[in-house]
């Protein structure tokens, strides 16, 4: 069966950045399973997996625009020091979860200047071209329930 919309795909992958640094990998773990055509993985990778079959191996180079997008200056904001717990020594590079109008996001402190804290809520991989080394392990038709829910159901509880 070829990968197409509404198929469940299981794959092993290793994700690297342009310098070759491993950012994530499924090696030594269960394969990643996702529902194809439902936005469960980044668009550039999903597009390159279309039509592949079990046993296929590929290197998928995904430009930033088709991964986590380009950095958006509107997502870099200034906050007041009193919006953070008082007992935390805020330092550039620190990451935390922030509540935004778009829902929870991982944010990174870019600078601390007195009471002013510059916070970046862009995805940490925004602006980064990605390379995936992929092996397709399984492809099957999704169940009606998986399609209705928009994600794969696995394990004892079905999710």
Q: Is residue 83 part of a domain?
A: yes
Q: Is residue 155 part of a domain?
A: no
Task: Give residue 88's domain range.
Answer: 73-120
Tell me the percentage of the chain whose pLDDT exceeds 70: 97
Q: Is residue 48 part of a domain?
A: yes
CA nearest to 38, candidates 147, 138, 134, 159? 147
Residues 59 and 131 in one domain: yes
Q: Cβ(142)–Cβ(148) under 8 Å?
A: no
Low-confidence residues of the chain: pLDDT under 70: 155-159
* Residue 61 CA: distances (Å) to CA of 89, 133, 135: 39, 9, 14
SS3 of 42, please? coil
Residues 61 and 95 in one domain: no
- The string of pLDDT tens digits covering residues 140-158 is 999 999 999 999 997 555 5
Counting the structural domains of the chain, the total is 2
Query: 136: part of which helix (H) or strand (E)?
Result: strand 130-141
Residues 59 and 137 in one domain: yes
**CATH code of the domain containing 31:** 3.10.50.40
User: Which two three-digit tokens encode residue 47?
Assistant: 């597009």
Residues 136 and 112 in one domain: no
Please give the model's pTM, rounded to 2 decimal places: 0.84
């Amino acid at each position: 069966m070829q990968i197409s919309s509404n198929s469940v795909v299981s794959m092993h992958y290793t994700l690297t950045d342009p310098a070759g640094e491993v950012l994530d990998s499924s090696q030594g773990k269960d394969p990643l399973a996702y529902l194809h055509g439902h936005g469960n993985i980044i668009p550039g990778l999903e597009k390159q997996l279309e039509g592949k079959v079990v046993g296929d191996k590929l290197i998928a180079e995904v430009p930033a625009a088709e991964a986590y997008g380009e950095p958006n200056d509107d997502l870099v904001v200034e906050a007041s020091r009193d919006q953070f717990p008082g007992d935390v020594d805020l330092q550039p590079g620190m990451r935390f979860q922030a509540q935004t109008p778009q829902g929870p996001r991982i944010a990174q402190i870019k600078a601390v200047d007195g009471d002013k804290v510059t916070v970046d809520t862009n995805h940490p991989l925004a602006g980064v071209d990605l390379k995936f080394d992929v092996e397709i392990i399984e492809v099957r038709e999704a169940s009606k329930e998986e399609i209705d829910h928009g994600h794969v159901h696995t394990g004892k509880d079905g999710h």
